[in-house]
Amino acid sequence: MRTSLFIAALGLLSMAGCAWSEFDDLADTTWVRSTDEPNVGSRNYALAIVGLTTGTSGGQLGVVSDDTPDYSTIDYDNDGTDTAGGNDVKLGQHRIAALTDPPLFVTDGNGKIAIAERSTTGGNVAVVFGSATAPAGIEFAALAPDAVTFVGADVVVAAGDTFYTLQTAMQVPCKSMDSTFAVAAMALDSATSTLWVWSKSGAFFGIPSSALTPCNGGMLPSAGSTLTTPLMPAAGARVHIVGNFAVLTAHAPTSRMGQIFVVDLSTVAESDTLAVEGLRSSAVAVFGTTTYVVIGVPDRAVGGVVAGQVDLFALDTTAGTLTKTPALSLNDAQAESGQLFGRAVTTMKFNDKQILVIAANSEVFAYYKTALYDALP
């Protein structure tokens, strides 16, 4: 009698038991790899992210964090396993004591990155380079940078009305044609060797990159055709070169107003524009044969929770037009208030495929698969 009851009780228990390891197994089947803030001494992880160039296996993401300014990487194995906090560089050792949201963070695509401390009264730029396992850095001080980009191997910094070409242990200034001029964003069109500049007043024009490599200390040549956008871009504006088009993204300095401009570079004329309220970050990605403009709106409410969202708008690279509704909107499946999902967006090579990476507050999401692509390991 007692034995039977014991066996029955054990049987019930075994039937009622839950296998918690199923959740681990289930987590391994997800399409998104989330990386939480590693122990890099920063409480504001993933303030800016940039996909780094790697081989054909796995991927690597550069991550800039604040509080204690830090540059580190997230290394992805070819099976998708992430290792956060690699190649850690304390930016304070390179004159960057604090970072303003969003910091300037660019890469040349060849293992060199530039990080600029945005400041109206003066800031510093750190350039990190070297091998992935032994990064090194040099710093350039007191430039009050507004925009940073690579022109070849050189880092070009726009600070007020002056451009600086940063070379090893040397910074060469080139004066702008207009003393009131200030750059909001710029990007190099390597196909035409033109540095496209979007000024804080909305003027968009090109400068031959040869004038900056190196600066000769003189005045920059006058701008050619100029397009003036109705939106004067605030900090965080970006210029993306996509074939014959430039995609300009920015938000207004004092409101949530944001806008995308597609500019035909051959005519320097706007081919399309799209207002995206709350726009704070952008990237351009190519999935398959389609190019998408990726827009991060970190203060958008999702399901009643101000958690942030990322929209992907398809870009017709022939006509220079954007779809007016997102081809895909991404947000955290468990949106949390103040998550700032999409405060930085970038693309990254993973197993030689391009994937989307989105930064939130102290968390990075690598999307191996979306409705637009499948790069699952």
Give residues with Cβ within 8 angstroms of 363, minimum separation 6: 34, 35, 36, 37, 45, 46, 339
Rule CB under 8 A: is residue 352 a binding residue for other proteins?
A: no
**Where in 286-315 is the site for other proteins (CB under 8 A)?**
none
Kindly indicate which of the ranges 31-39, 116-124, 271-279, 318-326 contains the residues binding other proteins, using the contact rule CB under 8 A: 31-39
C-alpha torsion angle, residues 93, 96, 98, 100 (rounded to 10): -150
Rule CB under 8 A: is residue 350 a binding residue for other proteins?
A: no
Q: Prior bond to 102 cis, omega within 30?
A: yes
- Binder of other proteins out of 150, 163, 245, 367 (CB under 8 A): 367
DSSP letters, 127-194, are: EEEE-SSSEEEEEE-S---SEEEEETTEEEEEETTEEEEEETTEEEEEE-S-TT--EEEEEEETTTTE
What tokens does 68 get?
């204690």
Nearer to other proteins, 161 or 311 (CB): 311
**Shortest gap between Cβ of 276 and other proteins (angstroms)?**
18
**Where in 325-344 is the site for other proteins (CB under 8 A)?**
329-334
Nearer to other proteins, 20 or 289 (CB): 20
Nearer to other proteins, 80 or 320 (CB): 80
**Shortest gap between Cβ of 334 and other proteins (angstroms)?**
5
**Shortest gap between Cβ of 353 and other proteins (angstroms)?**
16
Rule CB under 8 A: is residue 20 a binding residue for other proteins?
A: yes
**Shortest gap between Cβ of 226 and other proteins (angstroms)?**
41
Rule CB under 8 A: is residue 3 a binding residue for other proteins?
A: no
Rule CB under 8 A: is residue 79 a binding residue for other proteins?
A: no
Nearer to other proteins, 34 or 244 (CB): 34
What tokens does 200 get?
């804080």
**Shortest gap between Cβ of 29 and other proteins (angstroms)?**
6
CB atoms within 10 A of CB 260: 23
What tokens does 231 get?
């939106």
Kindly indicate which of the ranges 12-20, 38-46, 113-121, 205-213 contains the residues binding other proteins, using the contact rule CB under 8 A: 12-20
DSSP tag of 376: -
What tokens does 262 get?
């597609």
Rule CB under 8 A: is residue 230 a binding residue for other proteins?
A: no
Cα separation of 148 and 123, whole Å? 12
**Shortest gap between Cβ of 78 and other proteins (angstroms)?**
16
DSSP tag of 220: P
Nearer to other proteins, 176 or 331 (CB): 331
Rule CB under 8 A: is residue 34 a binding residue for other proteins?
A: yes
Cα separation of 180 and 364, whole Å? 38
DSSP tag of 222: P
Rule CB under 8 A: is residue 7 a binding residue for other proteins?
A: no
Nearer to other proteins, 6 or 218 (CB): 6
CA-closest candidate to residue 229, choices 209, 210, 208, 257: 257
Distance, first Cα to last Cα, the chain: 55
Q: Which residues bind other proteins (CB under 8 A)?
A: 1-2, 5-6, 9-10, 13, 16-20, 22-24, 26-36, 329-334, 363, 365, 367, 369-371
